[in-house]
Structure 1
Amino acid sequence: MGDLQIKKESKKYDAVIVGSGAGGGMAAYVLANAGLKVCLIEAGPDYDPAKHSSQFKNPWDSPRRGASTKFRPFGDFDGCYWGWEIDGEPYTMAPGSDKWDWWRARMIGGRTNHWGRISLRFGPKDFKRRSIDGLGDDWPIGYEDVKPYYDKIDRLLGVFGSNEGLENDPDGIFLPPPKPRLHELMIRKAATGIGVPVIPSRLSILTKQINKERGACVYCAQCGRSCKLAADFSSSSALVKPAVATGNVDVVTNAMAREVITDKEGKATGISFVNKTDMMEYQVNGRVVILAASACETARLLLNSKSQRHPNGLANESNVVGKYLHDSTGAALGGVLPQLFGRKRYNEDGVGGMHVYTPWWLDNKKLDFPRGYHIEYWGGMSQPAYGFGFGMEGLNGKYAVHGKTKEAGGYGASLKEDARFFYGAGVGMAGRGEAVPNINNYCEIDPSVVDKYGIPVLRFHTKHSDYEIKQAKHMKETFKEIMHNMGAIITWGGDDNEKNNYGLNNPGNIIHEAGTVRMGADRKTSALNKWSQAHDCKTLFCVDGSQFTSQADKNITWTILALSMRASEYIIDEMKKQNL
C-alpha cells in the first residue's frame, strides 16, 4: 500500500504498544507513570469492567439463558470478546499437523478479562531446565533477576496464598486465602492421603482491599465475567485505566496492526494498522515499539514486517520467530460424590476459581517424562446456569444412595427432583503441565490466505511429543487414585487411553501459549536478549508470552507481568541514557 493511502499521525510518542492485555497493560502503566508519552493500540473495542461486565446478572437476563456463542465461547456473560474463531480472521493448519486451538481476545484488557487468575511465580529450576534435564534451553536470566518484579506486582496487583517454603514454587507477598469449600476439604483429605499435596491457591483476587481504586472480593464466583469492583486482576481495570488517568496514554481501539515500520537503518519506528471502522490504513510513530499482542499474534506481526534490512521479517536474523511454539498441557477427569447426593443447599460460591490446588510434587528423574504439572480442582455448588449438567452418564441410568435405588432421567417433576438431588455433588480435576519447547512446533505466514483486512494469516505446525503424552497418562492415573480415595464415581474422562493420548487437550487449547520470539543469550538461536529487546533491532521489545524460553508447570500471566515491568523499567533507563 503506497504512502498516499496511509494516514500518518503527526504526533510522535515515546512508545507505541500493540496489545492491552497483561504485557501491554503493564508496559503502558509503567511508562505512563514515568512521564513517557504512550500510544496503546488494541484490535478490539474499549472495555471497562466497571461499566461493561455482566457480573451479577442471572441466566434469564440473557436471550440464550447464558449459553455460549462464537463471540463468547465460555458463555453469554463471559468477560472475553471472541475466542477460538473470529469472523473474517482465519488461521490455517499445515498438512499432518495436530489441530492448534488459537484463542484470541479482541478488547481492552485482552484475555485478562477472562482467565483463572492463577498467579504462580516460576521457580529457580524453571529458568534453568536444560541444565537439569538436558532438554530445551536455559533462560538468559534466573529467578533472582525476576524476583524483585514478582514482589512489586504482588504489592501492586494483589495475590492471595500461603507461605509454604517450597523450593520451586516460591512464596509471594500474599493476601489471606479463602477457606476451602466442602468438596475441596474432601479433595484435600483424599489427595494428601496418597501423598499428593494440596495447598491454598494463589490467585490474583483481592480478599482484602489494597487501594482506594479497587474493591475487595464479595465472593460471587463470577471472576470469569470480569469484576465491576476490580477485586480481581484484569489489565483493563488495574493497569490500562490508571495508565490513561495519568494523561500520558492515547488509546486507539479497533485497530488491527499490520506491520512494524522500520527506518533505513532497520530500527523500529512505528506501527501501521487498519482502522476497523473505516478500513483505512494509519501509521503511528514512536521512539520504541513494544509488542504485546500474544505469542502467536506478535510472531505474525514480526513475520509480516519485512524490509530491505529485515528480509526474513523483523527480529528474525536467527530464523526462530514463530518457532518453539508451545502451550501448557492439559488433561481432565470428573465425576460425582454419592455422599453429597441430596446435600443441603447453601451459598458456597467463594472466589471465581479454586480455593486449593496441588503444585508439582515429584522428581521427574524417577519418571518417564521430563517436566511436571500442577492440579486444578473444581466442584461443589454455584449459581445454576443454562446447560447445567450433572455428569451422571457413568451411572448407567440407575444409582443407589442410602440403600434406595433411583432411576435417573425423565422430565417434568422427575427431572426437577434429579436436579435438586444431584446438585452440588460434582467434582473434577485437571492437570496443567510443562511441554518441552520444540523447534518443529511453529507458526509461519500462510502464503495464500489473508484475513478480511488483507493481512496474511498464520499457518500452524504442531504435534504432541511422547513427553506430553506420558505426562497426560500420569495425570489421569493420579486423578483416578484421588477420586477412588474420595469415594467418587468417575463419569467422564476415565476411559481415556493411548488411542486418544489419554485425553490430552489440543495444543493451544489451554490458552497459555508461549515461545515464538524467545529470549536467549545467543543471538543465533534466539530473537530477544535478557531485557525482552530484539537482538537485531534495539528499538523493538516483546513483552507478552512470545519472549518465553520455556514455560514451567505454572500459568504464565504473573511472569508476563513481571517481565513486562522489568523491560519497561529498562526502557526508561535506556532513554535517560539516550541509548534509545
Structure 2
Amino acid sequence: MFDIAQNNKSNTFDAVVIGSGISGGWAAKELTQNGLKTLLLDRGRMVRHGDYPTANLDPWDMEHRGKTPPEEIKRDYPKQSRFPGNVRQETKHWFVKDPEHPYLEDRRFDWIRGNHVGGRSITWGRQCYRWSDLDFEANIREGVAIDWPIRYKDIKPWYDYVESYVGISGRREGLHHLPDGEFLKPMDLNVAELQFRDRIHQIYDDRMVTNARIANLSEPKDRGACQYRNRCKRGCPYGGYFSSVSSTIPDAERTGKLTIRPHSIAHSVIYDPNTGKASGVRVIDAETKEEMVFNARIIFVNASTLGSTQILMNSTSTSFPEGMGNTNGVLGKYLMDHHFLISGSGEVDGLEDYYYKGRRPGGTYMPRFRNIDAESGMKNFTRGYGLQGGGGRGTGWKQNIAELNYGKKSKEDLFKPGGPWRYGMIAFGECLPYEDNRVYQDPNAVDQWGIPLLRFDAGWKENELEMRKDMRIQIPEMLENAGLKNIQFNDQMSYPGQGIHEMGTARMGRNPKTSILNKWNQIHDVPNVFVTDGACMTSAGCQNPSITYMALTARACDHAISELNRQNL
C-alpha cells in the first residue's frame, strides 16, 4: 500500500490539515495567512458557500412537505435519525448514510456525522460559551483524571481573537464562571423570556438568565447579518452565521496558499524514526480508492474527535505499534459528551396582547449554578449543568434551541399571534472523564476502504445520573416559582454522542505518561503533529465546546508557526 514516491514535489506542502470543519477551517486560515502552503483534506464532497440546495425552500416545495419516509430512514439513516430532525428533506444531505459509513456499538453511541467540506460547521447549534478556571482546574481540584496543562489566562487572548472574527451576539454579565466575550449586540429577548428572566432574578440569588451567546451576526460584519429565517441547519446563503465554508476557508483561499482536496480519506500519519517527526499523510481517494501520500512539515489532525482518533490509531509504526503517540494506552479512552434531554415548559400568563415577527436563532441561557463555590456545593454529584431555553406562542419555545428545533410547525409557531405564550428550557450536563468510556478499532471489521471500524463502549455513571436527578427537580420547580402554569415536563434518557459534543480520546496533559498531547496540542512524541478538535479535551465542562476548539486551534497554529520560524519543527 501507499507506494507512491513520497518525494513527489506536487504532493509536498508546508502543512496538511485533515478535516475542514470548525477547527480544521481555522487551521487552514491561520496557516495560510502566515504564508504556509497548505493542503486541506476532507473525506466528503466539495461544498462552497452558497451550495445550500434547500436554503430557500418552503415545506410545499419539498416532497412529503419535508418529511422523509419512514422506510428511507430505516434503510439509510437508522443511526443518524436518532437525533430528531437530522434527516428531514431539507437537511438529510448533510448527514451520512449509515450503511455506507458503519460503526459498531458495545453500548449505544450516537455518532452523528456529515462528510463534506465544512463538516458539522454547517449544521452546528452555534451556541458559544467560554470556559473559566472553574472548568480548567476542576480535575486537579477534585482528583479526577488528570490536570489540564493550561488555564483560562492561556486561552483568553485566543477567545478574544476568534470571537472578534466569528461574530458572537451576547450580553456581558460579569460572571467569573462564564467569562464575557467580544460580543456583538445581543438579540433581543421576547416578552415571555424577559418576564421569566426578571422573575428568576427576583426569586433566586444563585442563578440568572441571559441571552443565548450565539455565532449568528446580530449586525453586519464582513458577511450579511442574520435574517431571522431560522433555517440555519440548511446552510445560510447570507453568511448570517459562522461556518468554515462561509468564513475561514474562503479567507484561506484568498491567500493563494490553499489547496482543497475533497473525497480524500486520511488513512494515517507517517512517522519518520530518523527525524522523530511525521513526514506526511497517507490518503485514499474516496471515489477511485487510489492510494497516495502527501508530505508536509507540520500536520494538523482535525477530522473531529472520533475521526482524528481513528487516524491516530491507524498511524502505526515500529515506534508506535498501538497508534501514533499512544505509548501509554490512553488513545481512545476518556470519551465524553454532554448528557441532556431533560426539559420542561409552562404557560406564561398575561401576555396575550404581545407577539413578534421573525425567528431568532437563539433564546436564553441559564449558566451553571451547582458546585460553583462552597455555598452551591452538592453532596451527591460534582460539576454542573447549564440550561438553554426560549419563549414563544403556542408550543414554540423549542424554536429557540437549535438542538431541538426542526419541522414546519416549529418554524411557524412563533409567527402566529394566537395561542398562549410558553417558556421552556432544557439542561446540558457535564460528563466526567472515565477511563473505561472508550472507542477502539474492531479487529475483524473494516469499511469499504479497508479501514478498521470503530467500536464504542461508553455510558453515563453515578455522577451523571445523580446530576440528572437534580435536573428533574430544578426545572419544574423554577418554572412553577416563576409563575408559569400548565407545566409540562419531559424526562428522556440521552445517550453518549447524542449531544453531538463528543470529546476526549486524545487528551491534553502535562505528563506524556498519561496524555497524548502537550499544552500546545502537539503529540508529545511527535512534535510536528497537532490535534486541536474535540479529541484534545481533558474534561468536558457543561458549555457547548466549539468556541473552545476554535481558540485552541488558533493558539496552536500560532505556536506551530513560531516553532517553524525557529527551525524547531
TM-score by length of 2: 0.88
Output one character per residue of 1:222-247: Cα deviation in whole Å (capped at 9) or x when no partner.
Answer: 22222211121111111011111211
Aligned to 1:170: 179
- The CA distance in 1 between the partners of 2:384 and 2:187, in whole Å, is 26
Q: For residue 213 of structure 2, what is the amino acid of its counterpart?
A: R
Aligned to 2:103: 91
- The CA distance in 2 between the partners of 1:80 and 1:194, in whole Å, is 46
Aligned to 2:109: 100
CA shift, 1:164, in A, is 1.1
CA shift, 1:182, in A, is 3.3
Question: What pairs up with 1:292-311 in 2 under 5 angstroms?
Answer: 292-311=302-321
**Bigger mean CA deviation after superposition, 49-58 or 233-242:** 49-58
1:138 and 2:135 are equivalent in the alignment: no
Q: Which runs of 5+ in 2 are unaligned?
A: 400-404
Residues 47, 118 of structure 2: 8 Å contact kept: yes
- The CA distance in 2 between the partners of 1:447 and 1:191, in whole Å, is 53
Secondary structure of the 1:388 match is helix
- The CA distance in 2 between the partners of 1:426 and 1:251, in whole Å, is 46
Aligned to 1:462: 458
1:545 and 2:529 are equivalent in the alignment: no
Change in Cα spacing, 1:340 to 1:253, as seen in structure 2 (3 Å) is farther
- The CA distance in 2 between the partners of 1:37 and 1:340, in whole Å, is 61
- The CA distance in 2 between the partners of 1:242 and 1:556, in whole Å, is 23
CA shift, 1:522, in A, is 0.4
Secondary structure of the 2:100 match is coil
Aligned to 1:204: 215
Q: For residue 472 of structure 2, what is the amino acid of its counterpart?
A: K
CA shift, 1:337, in A, is 2.1
Aligned to 2:370: 362
CA shift, 1:276, in A, is 1.8
Secondary structure of the 1:51 match is coil
Question: What pairs up with 1:10-29 in 2 under 5 angstroms?
Answer: 10-29=10-29
CA shift, 1:484, in A, is 2.2
Percentage of matched positions with identical amino acids: 33
Residues 472, 504 of structure 1: 8 Å contact kept: no
Residues 181, 348 of structure 1: 8 Å contact kept: no
1:572 and 2:558 are equivalent in the alignment: no
Question: What pairs up with 1:320-399 in 2 under 5 angstroms?
Answer: 320-337=330-347, 339=349, 346-350=356-360, 352-354=361-363, 356-363=364-371, 366-367=377-378, 368-380=380-392, 386=407, 388=409
Output one character per residue of 1:196-247: Cα deviation in whole Å (capped at 9) or x when no partner.
Answer: 3101221111112233xx1112222222222211121111111011111211
Residues 26, 565 of structure 1: 8 Å contact kept: yes
Residues 79, 224 of structure 1: 8 Å contact kept: no
1:121 and 2:121 are equivalent in the alignment: no
TM-score by length of 1: 0.86
Residues 159, 173 of structure 1: 8 Å contact kept: yes
Change in Cα spacing, 1:463 to 1:9, as seen in structure 2 (3 Å) is farther
- The CA distance in 2 between the partners of 1:52 and 1:256, in whole Å, is 23
Change in Cα spacing, 1:194 to 1:457, as seen in structure 2 (3 Å) is farther
Aligned to 1:393: none
Aligned to 2:56: 56
- The CA distance in 2 between the partners of 1:470 and 1:560, in whole Å, is 28
Change in Cα spacing, 1:78 to 1:189, as seen in structure 2 (3 Å) is farther
1:438 and 2:427 are equivalent in the alignment: no
1:185 and 2:199 are equivalent in the alignment: no
- The CA distance in 2 between the partners of 1:145 and 1:110, in whole Å, is 28
- The CA distance in 1 between the partners of 2:407 and 2:189, in whole Å, is 26
Output one character per residue of 1:432-466: Cα deviation in whole Å (capped at 9) or x when no partner.
Answer: 12111111111111111111211101111112111
Output one character per residue of 1:465-486: Cα deviation in whole Å (capped at 9) or x when no partner.
Answer: 1100111111121111133234
Of residues 444, 451, 454 in structure 2, which corresponds to 1:448? 444
- The CA distance in 2 between the partners of 1:54 and 1:132, in whole Å, is 48
Change in Cα spacing, 1:194 to 1:105, as seen in structure 2 (3 Å) is farther
Residues 271, 283 of structure 1: 8 Å contact kept: yes
CA shift, 1:283, in A, is 1.8
Change in Cα spacing, 1:575 to 1:454, as seen in structure 2 (3 Å) is same
- The CA distance in 1 between the partners of 2:94 and 2:426, in whole Å, is 25
Q: For residue 86 of structure 1, what is the amino acid of its counterpart?
A: D
Q: For residue 547 of structure 1, what is the amino acid of its counterpart?
A: C
Secondary structure of the 2:64 match is coil
- The CA distance in 2 between the partners of 1:278 and 1:229, in whole Å, is 35
Q: Which runs of 5+ in 1 are unaligned?
A: 391-418, 497-502
CA shift, 1:4, in A, is 6.3
Aligned to 1:260: 269
CA shift, 1:2, in A, is 5.5
Secondary structure of the 1:337 match is strand
Aligned to 2:402: none
CA shift, 1:533, in A, is 0.3
**Bigger mean CA deviation after superposition, 529-538 or 126-135:** 126-135
**Bigger mean CA deviation after superposition, 202-211 or 458-467:** 202-211
CA shift, 1:423, in A, is 5.7
Secondary structure of the 2:11 match is strand
Of residues 537, 550, 562 in structure 1, which corresponds to 2:551? 562
Secondary structure of the 2:50 match is helix
Residues 23, 560 of structure 1: 8 Å contact kept: yes
**Bigger mean CA deviation after superposition, 61-70 or 14-23:** 61-70
- The CA distance in 2 between the partners of 1:77 and 1:7, in whole Å, is 45
Output one character per residue of 1:37-74: Cα deviation in whole Å (capped at 9) or x when no partner.
Answer: 00000111122342325333211122132225537725
- The CA distance in 2 between the partners of 1:483 and 1:552, in whole Å, is 25
